[in-house]
Amino acid sequence: MMKALLGLILILPQAATPTFTVGGTVQFKGDIPKAKANKRVMEDPACAECHPEAPPQENLVVDPAGGVKWAFVYVKAGLEGRAFPVPAAPVAIDQKGCTYSPHVVGARTGQGVSFRNSDKMLHNVHPIPFVNKEFNFGQPGGAVEERKFPQAEVPIKVICNVHPWMACFVCVVDHPFFAVTDAAGRFEIKGLPAGTYTLGVWHEELKFPDQVIVVKADQQVRF
C-alpha cells in the first residue's frame, strides 16, 4: 500500500503581526514511484500534435526526495462562525494540449472559477460534484466561461467527455486557509490566527488522517 507522511512546521510571525504561517511538506513514505506517461493523449491525432511525446500523468507526482505534488492542504475545523471576504478575481483553469492545468486548485465558496480552452479543438467542462450542482457545457477553442460553486466540497472532479483522460480537481472551502503542494511537496498557509485547528489533506491517490495543530506564538509544530 502506498503511504505518505505529512510534515509540518509553524513559522512564527513578527511581534506586531497577530497571524501566523503554517508551512511544511507532504512526504511520500516508501519506494519512490516512477513517473508514468499519459499515452492516451497521443491516441487522438489532434491532441498528439500538441506534444512531442506523451505528457506525464499527474495523479501521483513524487520528486526524488519524496515530495508529493498536487496535495490540497486546508483547515478542516476550527474556523466555525468566522466569515472571510471572497476574492473578486477568479481561479483560472486552462485546457491546453488536451489536459487541464493546473491539475488541482483551491477555490472559495462563491468565488468565480474561470475555464479557458486554449486548444483549437472542442472540449467540454463537466464537474461531477456530490454537494454542488453538476453542470456540463461544450467549449470551443479560445472560449472562456466562469462558474461558481456555492458550497464547500473537497474535491470536485472535473472531466472532459470529449477526451476522457482529461481531469482536474477543484477543492472548494469557505475560508482562505489552504494551499496546494508544489513540485517538492511544500505548502504554506498564511494569515492563520492563533488557535487549535484540524488540518486536512486531500490527494487523488494517497490517504491522510486529519491532524490537530496548535498555532501559537511560542511553539513549533511538526508531524
Alpha-carbon gap, residue 24 to 173, rounded angstroms? 20
Do 113 and 218 have their domain in common? no
Domain that holds residue 16: 1-81+176-223
Do 111 and 50 have their domain in common? no
> How high does pLDDT run on average in the chain?
91
Do 110 and 165 have their domain in common? yes
Question: Is-above-0.85 flag for pTM?
Answer: yes
CATH of the domain at 151: 2.60.40.420
Do 74 and 105 have their domain in common? no
Alpha-carbon gap, residue 98 to 58, rounded angstroms? 13
Do 38 and 95 have their domain in common? no
Domain end call among 174, 193, 211:
174
Do 125 and 161 have their domain in common? yes
DSSP string, 100-135: EESSEEEEETT-EEEEEE-SSS-EEEEEE-SSSPP-
| pLDDT for 42 | 95
Do 89 and 64 have their domain in common? no
| pLDDT for 118 | 98
Do 169 and 185 have their domain in common? no
Alpha-carbon gap, residue 121 to 47, rounded angstroms? 8
| pLDDT for 15 | 45
